[in-house]
Amino acid sequence: MTDWTPYTERARQWFEHLRDLICAEFEAIEREAGSAASFAYTPWTRQSVEGEGEGQDTGGGTQGLMKGKVFEKVGVNVSTVRGAFSPQFAGSVNGASADSPGFSATGISLVAHMANPHVPAVHMNTRFLTTTKAWFGGGADLNPPLPYDEDTAEFHAEFKAACDRHSPDYYAKHKAWADEYFYIPHRKVHRGVGGIFYDHLECTPDEDGGSAMWEANFAYTQDVGRAFLSVFPRLVRRRMGLDFTPADKAQQLEWRGRYAEFNLVYDRGTLFGLKTGGNIDAILMSLPPEATWS
């Protein structure tokens, strides 16, 4: 079986680097708005779950959280964890089973809820996982309470360009996957205006022990992160100074309720974190600071 540890380490280093770039950019936006807000970083250690031995190094992560003038609440989390899935959960994960429950996972997860309802909320996540298989997954989606066609088109164009650099099929496939995934069946609405989503982008080792497929998928995953860093700050700066009405704020709070419903009922990442001994505060940082239900 291939030892994916060096590959996991390279992915971890990239996710931490991307976090640092994103957090610096978000803090710069706060300075432009006259705010001194900055990220507070809280390290955490993964807790063992059923079926794992005591005293094993199960990894952990760092939760980055900022509450400012522009970013009402934004979390940027990076984690690298390893261990074994519980027997009940193992069968639901690609390449895992009750007989082969071992896994490792490293990734970055970001959710931003904005103070001004003209500025879209956003989610971005990229990750590398190993079981008996190894694969990348991730994506980003835009969640505006008050959609602007210009912003939606620009967001999608940035990710289409990133996709097209790697495969002419990626954008159409991964956009459709996002449209299907980020949907709230009981409301019969999409969570936002979409983006891209991909999973199980599998890597296989070469005969010489390397993995050209891993390198290609890693390069794509890096470009997804760079696309987010390029486009979302532009949208924030474009809208953060606009005036808004009480009706605009009410619309934002209602859509935040939809966001919370999706993440608590349907989101795979929430379930994965809860089932694998993740940090509760980091897992639920995606929830908005305020929301309403009629």
pLDDT, tens only, 121-173: 999 999 999 999 999 999 999 999 999 999 999 999 999 999 999 999 999 99
CATH number at residue 195: 3.40.1500.10
Pairwise CA distance, residues 83 & 51, whole Å: 9
Please give the angle made by the CA atoms of 218, 223 and 227, to the nearest 5 degrees.
155
**Is the distance from CB of 70 to CB of 30 less than 8 angstroms?**
yes
Statement: residue 52 has pLDDT above 70: no
Which is the catalytic residue, given 118, 123, 156, 174? 123
Q: Is residue 294 assigned to a domain?
A: no
pLDDT category of residue 65 using cuts at 50, 70 and 90: very high
- Predicted local distance difference test score (pLDDT) of residue 47: 77
The whole-number average pLDDT for the span 61-84 is 96
Residues 109 and 269: their CA atoms lie apart, in Å, by 9
From residue 113, give the alpha-carbon distance in Å to each of 81, 214, 222, 250: 26, 33, 24, 14
Lowest pLDDT segment from 18-27, 223-232, 277-286: 277-286
The strand ranges marked E within the chain are 40-45, 59-66, 71-84, 102-114, 121-130, 134-143, 183-184, 189-190, 194-203
Q: Per the domain annotation, does 26 fall within a domain?
A: yes
Label residue 111 left, alpha or beta by phi (over 0 means left) and psi (-120 to 50 means alpha): beta
pLDDT of residue 95: 76
User: Tell me, what DSSP letter sits at residue 284?
Assistant: G
Q: What is the pLDDT of residue 50?
A: 62
Residue 293 lies in a domain: no
Give the total number of structural domains in the chain: 1
Segment 235-249 shows an average pLDDT of 98
Range of the domain at 30: 5-286
Please report the pLDDT score of residue 152 as a whole number.
98
User: Three-state SS string across 11-47, please?
Assistant: HHHHHHHHHHHHHHHHHHHHHHCCCCCCCEEEEEECC
Higher-confidence position of 277 and 213? 213
**Bridge-partner residues for 126, per DSSP?**
108, 138
pLDDT at 100: 83
* Average per-residue pLDDT for the chain: 93
Residue 123 falls in the annotated catalytic set? yes
DSSP structure class, residue 165:
T
- The answer for residues whose C-beta is within 8 angstroms of residue 204's C-beta and 6 or more apart is 134, 211, 213
Q: How far is 96 from 78, CA to CA, in rounded Å?
A: 23
Q: Is the pLDDT of residue 271 over 80?
A: yes
The CA distance from 235 to 195, in Å, is: 14
Lowest mean pLDDT among 156-165, 199-208, 220-229: 199-208
| Whole-number percent of the chain with pLDDT over 90 | 78
Within a domain: 162: yes
Give me the pLDDT at residue 111, please. 98
pLDDT value, residue 98: 75
Angle at 171 (CA atoms; ends 105, 136), nearest 5 degrees:
10
The answer, as to whether pTM is greater than 0.85, is: yes
From first CA to last CA, the distance across the chain in angstroms is 53
Q: What share of the chain is helix, strand, coil (3-state, %, to 5)?
A: 40, 25, 35
Report the pLDDT value the prediction gives residue 49, as an integer from 0 to 100. Answer: 66
46-55, 264-273, 284-293: which has the minimum mean pLDDT? 46-55
**What would the mean pLDDT of 216-222 be, rounded to a whole number?**
98
Residue range 89-128, pLDDT digits in tens: 877 888 778 778 888 999 999 999 999 999 999 999 999 9
d(CA 217, CA 126): 11
